[in-house]
Structure 1
Amino acid sequence: MHKNLIELNHPLLLHKLGYLRDKTTYSNEFRNLVTEVSKLLAYEAMRDWKDMDAVRVETPIAPTKVDRIINPPVAVAILRAGNGMLDGVLSMIPIASAGFIGIYRDKFIQNTVEYYFKLPADVKGREILLCDPLIATADTMIAAIDRLKSYHVGPIKVLSILTSEHALKRLEHFHPDVKVFALNVEKEMTENGYLVPGLGDAGDRLYQTK
């Protein structure tokens, strides 16, 4: 049991995950499914949101007070596959702002390389929803969290479709305060870092680049 994992094993999500795993699922269907799953991941990640304000409105029948989210989170995509999740998260939380981190693991230097980093100016203290559909070794995820924390952001929640046992152990070691929301935990990885059974390379399947 991983104390920082929130596993969403809802039948509807597992149904969609089955189509994401299927190699015959076309790219446009794959993108739509990732968007749908991302909406529900965002929904769960916001379940414990406390920063609300009461606003007075007029219904068609009578005046009343309603709750409104204030100081909304920042949805941050790890390029490029994380972009596939961003539309779903922002459609569920339209008042959220967005950021982007371009980072990858270079097998020759055995380290992560950052090539792009852009966050909203007011990110300090804001909750982060960090999006990457697959977490295998967790190298890029750990590096991304390190960078975000250097900007003194608020709590960080990771939204992912699949993660590995290995990744969860490393995240709990390096960033025990970060919660991970995912549909399933994969027990195995290939020597090239692909999750087994996984769903292949999410970026390639989203954008038909292979």
Structure 2
Amino acid sequence: MSSFTLIEHPLIQHKLSVLRNKNTSSATFRKTVEEMTHLVCYEATRKVSLGEVHIETPLEKTVGKMIDEDLILVSIMRAGNSMLEALLNMMPFARAGHIGIYRDKFVQNTVEYYFRVPQNIKSKRILLADPIVATGDTVVACLDRLKQYQVGTIQLLTLLISPQGLEKVQHFHPEVEIYTASVERGLNEKGFLLPGIGDAGDRLYHTLE
């Protein structure tokens, strides 16, 4: 079974309640997703490797530590883009990619419409970002594609995940490390998380009717 980390820090839970509130504006929603992503990133990057660097403070020379991994950040579009920008703010030295995959209810399968990742990602650590994991189909399809490149450790960063989605990811990709702020109660008949936050993309980009 994959490594699973439920982040229950008070700040995370406070900000999650802001996201849940249907009256939260798109601007506040985007800002809160950014802030929560920073906190999830903090937990997910505990294991990245550090290298020594020689630096000079205003007072003397010393030896410091800096991340020396070639980290690859990947967004599952479109909602994942909000998390990707937050991750790049935290780690501007990282490289970034985008995957566009959605589940088509008519063909009952996932459809890929965009895939662009940096070159030479074999054996590299991947931080895969998507605010919501509902059925898990899209995430599993993205993981399948990334593994075609023989990447290294994959860490899935999400804000909310359903029990069904969690089980599916753990079943098909048991080695993936999962970080989330909440395991939701379940899914409704339309595939939305309950209690959830609604459609993350619509709320992020103000495309609700």
TM-score for both structures, normalised by structure 2 = 0.97
Residue 4 of structure 1: CA displacement? Answer: 2.3
**Within 5 Å, which residues of 2 pair with 1:61-80?**
61-80=59-78
Do structure 1's residue 34 and structure 2's residue 42 form an aligned pair? no
* Of 148, 151, 167, the match for 1:150: 148
- In the TM superposition, 1:36-185 aligns within 5 A as 36-50=35-49, 52-185=50-183
Q: Which runs of 4+ in 1 moved over 3 A?
A: none
Structure 1 gaps of 5+ residues are none
Amino acid at match of 1:172: Q
Distance 1:123 1:3, change over 3 A: closer
Aligned-residue Cα RMSD (Å) equals 1.0
Q: Is the 8 A contact 2:101 2:138 kept in 1?
A: yes
In the alignment, the residues of structure 2 paired with residue 131 and residue 200 of structure 1 have an alpha-carbon distance, to the nearest angstrom, of 18
Residue aligned with 1:15, SS: helix
Between the two proteins, the alignment pairs up a number of residues equal to: 208
- CA drift of 1:3 comes to 5.5
Q: Which residue identity lines up with residue 153 of structure 1 in the other structure?
A: V
> Quick one: which amino acid aligns to residue 9 of structure 1?
E
User: Does the CA contact (< 8 Å) of 2:54 and 2:63 recur in 1?
Assistant: yes
Q: Give the superposition deviation at 1:96.
A: 0.8
Would the aligned equivalents of 2:157 and 2:179 in 1 still touch at CA under 8 Å? yes
What letter is aligned with 1:31? Answer: R
- Percent identical among aligned pairs is 49
User: Is this contact kept in 2: 1:43–1:92, CA < 8 A?
Assistant: no
Q: 1:198, 1:128 → 2: CA distance?
A: 26
Gaps of 5+ in 2: none
> Shift in Å at residue 53 of structure 1?
1.6
SS at match of 1:114: strand
Match of 2:3 in 1: 4
Does 53-62 or 112-121 show the bigger shift?
Answer: 53-62
How far apart are residue 103 of structure 1 and its match?
0.3
